[in-house]
Amino acid sequence: MKISIIVIGDELLLGQVTDTNSGMIARHIAPYGWSVESVETVPDSHDQIIAAIRRAMHRSRVVITTGGLGPTRDDITKAAMLEVFGGKLVENAEVAANVRRIMEGRGHKLNALTATQALVPDSATIIQNLCGTAPIMWFDTPDSTLVAMPGVPAETSQMFEQEVFPRLFHRFSADTHVRHTTLTVSGITESDLAERLATFEDDLPPYLHLAYLPQASIIRLRLDGVHADGALLDRQFDENLSRLETLCADLLLYRGGHTPAEELLTRLKAEGLTLATAESCTGGAIASALTSIPGCSEVFRGSVVAYCNSVKRAVLGVDATILHKYGAVSEPVVIQMADGARRTLAADIAIATSGIAGPGGATPGKPVGTVCIAVATQNETVATTYRFGGSRELVIRRATLTALALALRATLPQSPHP
């Protein structure tokens, strides 16, 4: 099934807000064999909203709109919907109760503007928005289905994944069985991995598909399957997934679509271990990735961002002679940084980085993009040197993801069959 998305809002065309909803929708539906055919962004304009809706309904069986709803903009978008789908605005008691509940939960009084949100077209089926005040409106015509959703990303993603897509899938793909599993791997380039998996991909039955989702220094591999025969799908999917895992055994970090930071925290929490970082070139980016995850405080003890050598010496205990002999960007120094972080921050595992993010700072033999990373565990401290390409931002991002991947590899549960 191919769908079209219409993104509504002046703020998007002014560049004040970046649309992330259409990407969220695309990523969520891909494993089900659905795809996005086009995304169009239009201003809060009656005529342009109507023209975009008509174009999208002409193109796709299913159309999603995001945004253009909310107390101050309702009138334009709802008037456009009435013009396309007919009907009139009526007060919906359930929506009114939901608006009241949400506003009271936020400690606000219900004002006249938010009360207008309870007025909805009687030509729409209403889905309650559990995360916000703007209701979701579902319109059907003989040829198309359009679902109008709010635009706040946290609301849109939760409501699309939990309420809207399950209904769309049930309506249009009820006879379809779906399987998907993500493997996160590291330590290989995308082209080398594609070469290794070429025969595997050629041998896949037509209803199974392997997607490559590279992210700086890690690659997610997602095996998708869609078929009317659930038993056949299960058998083929499991066989091929097992073959894929064997082919990637030396690269596999973990199963599942979560982030490396989430996986690392989950794994360490399960083993009762704590984590710390000592960051030079990543400058707090690893700590920031870890602390963006709720509940991280059970595992993460903290970080020393040692951006100058005196902090490396004074706080992390790096030896001045080692610093002088090998330079700050060196394996002996990151090893001492990692050991120092374990000791100073009293953690079981420590990650340390030191590198040249650029654009300046290169020295002979150490070009921009040179990054040393060490992981210290109870058993050993191991350092590796990388040469990353790209801008300062990309070098920092690659160093961050590589450091998390190294920590994951260092904490991999020992395989029972070596």
Site string for a copy of itself, 281-320 (x = CB under 8 A): xxxxxxxx-xxx-xxxx--xxxxxxxxx-xx--xx-----
**Quick one: which segment of 177-185, 188-196, 201-209, 391-399 binds a copy of itself (CB under 8 A)?**
391-399
Q: Is the peptide bond before 294 cis (omega within 30 degrees of 0)?
A: no
Among positions 9, 40, 383, 398, the unique one binding a copy of itself when judged by CB under 8 A: 40
Q: How far apart are the first and last CA of the chain?
A: 44
Residue closest to 21 by CA, chosen among 12, 33, 10, 31: 12
Give the nearest distance from C-beta 55 to a copy of itself in angstroms: 8
Q: Look-up: residue for tokens 């599993």? A: 181
Give the nearest distance from C-beta 41 to a copy of itself in angstroms: 4
123 within 8 A of 142, measured Cβ to Cβ: no
Site string for a copy of itself, 333-362 (x = CB under 8 A): -----------xxx----------xxxxx-
Q: Does 399 bind a copy of itself (CB under 8 A)?
A: no
Give the nearest distance from C-beta 310 to a copy of itself in angstroms: 6
Nearer to a copy of itself, 225 or 355 (CB): 355
Interatomic CA distance for residues 141 and 54, integer angstroms: 12
Supply angle C-alpha 364, 366, 367, rounded to 5: 95
Interatomic CA distance for residues 407 and 20, integer angstroms: 30
**Quick one: which segment of 9-17, 164-172, 177-185, 198-206 binds a copy of itself (CB under 8 A)?**
9-17
91 within 8 A of 118, measured Cβ to Cβ: yes
What is the DSSP-derived secondary structure letter of residue 415? P
Nearer to a copy of itself, 141 or 391 (CB): 391
Amino acid in position 339: D
360 within 8 A of 371, measured Cβ to Cβ: no
67: left (phi over 0), alpha (psi -120 to 50) or beta: left
Residue closest to 358 by CA, chosen among 371, 345, 373: 371
Residue closest to 267 by CA, chosen among 257, 253, 251: 253
Site string for a copy of itself, 190-229 (x = CB under 8 A): -----------------------x----------------
Total number of residues that touch a copy of itself (CB under 8 A): 72
Q: Does 110 bind a copy of itself (CB under 8 A)?
A: no
Q: Does 37 bind a copy of itself (CB under 8 A)?
A: yes
Q: Does 149 bind a copy of itself (CB under 8 A)?
A: no
Interatomic CA distance for residues 345 and 275, integer angstroms: 9
Amino acid in position 131: C
Site string for a copy of itself, 232-271 (x = CB under 8 A): ----------------------------------------
275 within 8 A of 348, measured Cβ to Cβ: yes
Interatomic CA distance for residues 353 and 344, integer angstroms: 16
Q: Does 26 bind a copy of itself (CB under 8 A)?
A: yes
Q: Does 87 bind a copy of itself (CB under 8 A)?
A: no
Q: Does 41 bind a copy of itself (CB under 8 A)?
A: yes
Q: Does 19 bind a copy of itself (CB under 8 A)?
A: yes
417 contacts: CB under 8 Å, gap ≥ 6 = none
36 within 8 A of 4, measured Cβ to Cβ: yes
What is the DSSP-derived secondary structure letter of residue 69? -
Site for a copy of itself in 154-173 (CB under 8 A): 154
301 within 8 A of 320, measured Cβ to Cβ: no
Q: Does 105 bind a copy of itself (CB under 8 A)?
A: no
Interatomic CA distance for residues 398 and 340, integer angstroms: 23
Give the nearest distance from C-beta 361 to a copy of itself in angstroms: 8
Site for a copy of itself in 266-285 (CB under 8 A): 277, 279, 281-285
Nearer to a copy of itself, 48 or 125 (CB): 48
Give the nearest distance from C-beta 362 to a copy of itself in angstroms: 12
Give the nearest distance from C-beta 251 to a copy of itself in angstroms: 20
- What tokens appear for 201 in the block? 């991909």
Site for a copy of itself in 43-82 (CB under 8 A): 43, 48
Give the nearest distance from C-beta 249 to a copy of itself in angstroms: 26
Nearer to a copy of itself, 124 or 290 (CB): 290
Q: Does 16 bind a copy of itself (CB under 8 A)?
A: yes
Q: Does 18 bind a copy of itself (CB under 8 A)?
A: yes
